[in-house]
């Protein structure tokens, strides 16, 4: 049996494994503007920690319970899905190579597959890395660079620039085992930064120059785009946990308690006045519970936030300078960008203009659309309806290459 026994064939299932939550989505692809039908999530899922599997049995049970809650009438033993990953061990590498031909020839899907396969085989990746996705950024046809679709062109040389998204092998295998144990047939694992960029960035921004700043809990990723292509990605140890650690240090409380205080009380609203409002704090080091004035908490938190955000902006400025981008667009997303007053704080303290990246041209429940931490999953649907289709068309464009849909999908899932 297959997933069509319980879900219509047009429905795509997406899982999101974040640093603090595990989410499941069902949706449909409607051209390039997908629609999310439903979603469920588990906060601090048992068996998972910071986006990794720490207990295989508990993790698979958590997945099974989530699936049962999402699809209570499920009649199948195996579910097909795509998985988006967010953790501190995701990396990206760039490699390129070219093939030369003895005489001028018309490029077909065979040559495209061959040069991609060659580039993958010569890529000098660390042995500890598992390749999640391989994305062709552009092709070299003779002396023409950045060709998006080389099929049908005459050439004596074909090259390709590949972006290879990887993850630590052992950590990936544990995640894969958890999904396998929960009877989920995973079509592919995708890094959050890739699907987020698909969800929130416009073609104009990618062309003019934009820095996507995705703030997760344990890491902040900076992705640079210019001339329509993804450039370098920086992994910064400047995630939201730095703010949590600051709260724990300032008030001498447990890190997990500090996380709860941050989620409930922290804000970047510049004109917040709390009067005599009190915040309850808990110490697990033998001290009794105590309270502090929220105004005192807010003043210290604003100092921490300013120092933290200055470090992030310094890294963004260095990336822009390195890539020679003048006045790049700045787009923030991720849980760290969800503080109320974030953009006003950025403007007031740093005189910087930016926007919060929310998923564009998508139908979904409002609470999903406005949650920056879920953008990665929404972007997966846009990818399936956009870039994935483009890759399929690269191999079987109408009127140029006569291949069946099944063979196209087989090639696509083999390589991507």
Q: pLDDT tens digits, the chain, 416 residues: what are they?
A: 333 344 555 789 999 999 889 999 999 987 667 888 999 999 899 999 989 999 999 999 999 999 999 988 765 567 899 999 998 888 889 899 999 999 999 998 889 989 999 999 999 999 899 999 998 888 999 999 989 889 999 999 999 999 999 999 999 999 999 999 999 999 999 999 999 998 899 889 999 999 999 998 888 999 999 988 888 888 888 888 899 999 999 988 888 889 889 988 999 987 767 878 888 887 665 555 788 889 999 999 999 999 999 999 999 999 999 989 988 999 999 888 888 899 999 999 999 999 998 877 778 888 888 887 788 888 898 888 776 666 666 655 444 444 444 444 444 444 44
Q: Is 197 within 8 Å of 212 (Cβ atoms)? A: yes
Torsion angle of alpha carbons 108, 110, 113, 115, nearest 10°?
A: -80
Sign of CA dihedral 81, 365, 44, 376: positive
Task: Decide if 373 contacts 263 (C-beta within 8 A).
Answer: no
- CATH code of the region 91-169+396-415: 3.30.1490.110
Sheet holding 229-236, edge to edge: 229-236, 220-226, 210-215, 329-333, 355-356
CA dist 175 and 109 (Å) reads 33
Which two three-digit tokens encode residue 135?
């994305």
Task: Note the pTM of the prediction, 2 decimals.
Answer: 0.83
Q: What is the pLDDT of residue 280?
A: 86
- What radius of gyration do the chain's Cα atoms show? 23
Alpha-carbon distance of 206 to 225, in angstroms, equals: 5
CATH number of the 3-88+170-191+376-390 domain: 3.30.420.40
What pLDDT shows up at residue 367?
A: 82
**CA 391, 392, 398, 400 torsion: positive or negative?**
positive
Nearest alpha-carbon partner for 148 in 233, 230, 228, 31: 228
End-to-end CA distance of the chain: 25
| Angstrom distance (rounded) from CA 72 to CA 199 | 29
List CB contacts of 355: < 8 A, sequence separation 6 or more.
329, 330, 331, 332, 343
Sequence-ordered list of residues with C-beta below 8 angstroms from that of 275, at least 6 positions apart, any chain: 295
> Strands 11-17, 79-85: parallel, antiparallel or unpaired by DSSP?
parallel
Please report, for residues 68, 118, 191, 279, 296, the alpha-carbon distance to residue 265 in angstroms, rounded to integers and kept in the order given.
34, 53, 31, 8, 12
Q: How much is the pLDDT for 342?
A: 92
Please give the pLDDT value at position 77. Answer: 63
Q: What are phi and psi for residue 310, nearest 5 degrees?
A: -60, -40
Q: What's residue 395's pLDDT?
A: 57
Give the span between the Cα atoms of 364 and 382, in whole angstroms.
12
Q: What is the C-alpha separation between 194 and 226, in angstroms, rounded? A: 15
User: SS3 sequence, 362-410?
Assistant: CECCHHHHCCHHHHHHHHHHHHHHCHHHHHHHHHCCCCCCCCCHHHHHH
CA angle 348, 350, 351 (to 5 degrees): 70
Q: Where are the chain's structural domains?
A: 3-88+170-191+376-390, 91-169+396-415, 203-359
Phi/psi at 275 (5° precision):
55, -125
Q: Do domains 3-88+170-191+376-390 and 203-359 have the same CATH topology?
A: yes
Q: What is the pLDDT of residue 52?
A: 95
CA distances in angstroms from 391 to 114, 134, 211, 356, 397, listed in the order given = 15, 11, 25, 29, 10
CA distance 242 to 219: 9
By the 8 A CB rule, do 56 and 174 touch?
yes
Residues 6+ apart with CB under 8 A from 200: 212, 331, 333, 357, 358, 359, 360, 375, 379
| The domain defined by 203-359 carries CATH number 1.10.510.10 | no
pLDDT given for residue 11 in this prediction: 86
Position 216 scores a pLDDT of 85
């Amino acid at each position: 049996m297959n997933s069509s026994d319980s879900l219509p064939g047009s429905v795509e299932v997406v899982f999101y494994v974040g640093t603090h939550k595990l989410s499941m989505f069902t949706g449909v692809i409607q051209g390039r503007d997908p629609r999310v039908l439903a979603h469920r999530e588990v906060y601090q899922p048992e068996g998972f920690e910071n986006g990794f599997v720490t207990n295989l049995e508990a993790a698979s049970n958590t997945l099974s319970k989530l699936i049962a809650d999402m699809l209570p009438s499920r009649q199948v033993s195996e579910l097909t899905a795509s998985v988006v990953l967010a953790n501190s061990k995701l990396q990206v590498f760039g490699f390129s190579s070219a093939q030369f031909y003895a005489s001028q020839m018309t490029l077909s899907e065979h040559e495209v597959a061959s040069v991609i396969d060659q580039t993958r085989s010569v890529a000098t990746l660390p042995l500890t890395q598992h390749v999640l996705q391989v994305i062709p950024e552009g092709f070299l046809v003779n002396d023409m660079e950045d060709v998006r679709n080389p099929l049908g062109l005459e050439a004596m040389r074909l090259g390709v620039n590949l972006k290879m998204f990887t993850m630590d092998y052992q950590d990936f295998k544990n995640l894969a085992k958890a999904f396998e144990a929960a009877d989920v047939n995973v079509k592919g694992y995708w890094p959050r930064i890739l699907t987020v960029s698909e969800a929130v960035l416009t073609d104009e921004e990618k062309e003019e120059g934009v820095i996507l700043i995705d703030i997760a809990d344990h890491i902040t990723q900076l992705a640079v785009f210019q001339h329509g292509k993804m450039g370098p990605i920086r992994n910064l140890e400047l995630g939201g946990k730095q703010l949590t650690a600051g709260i724990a240090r300032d008030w001498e409380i447990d890190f997990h308690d500090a996380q709860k205080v941050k989620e409930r009380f922290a804000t970047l609203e510049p004109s917040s006045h709390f009067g005599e409002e009190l915040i309850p704090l808990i110490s697990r080091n033998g001290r009794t519970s105590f309270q502090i004035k929220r105004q005192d908490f807010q003043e210290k938190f604003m100092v921490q936030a300013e120092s933290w955000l200055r470090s992030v902006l310094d890294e963004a400025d260095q990336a822009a300078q390195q890539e020679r981008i003048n006045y790049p667009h700045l787009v923030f997303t991720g849980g760290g960008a969800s503080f109320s007053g974030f953009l006003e704080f950025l403007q007031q303290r740093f005189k910087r203009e930016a926007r919060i990246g929310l998923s564009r041209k998508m139908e979904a429940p409002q609470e999903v659309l406005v949650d920056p931490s879920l953008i990665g999953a929404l972007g997966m649907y846009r990818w399936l309806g956009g870039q994935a289709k483009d890759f399929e068309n690269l191999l079987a464009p109408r009127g140029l290459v006569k291949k069946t849909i099944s063979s196209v999908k087989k090639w696509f899932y083999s390589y991507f």
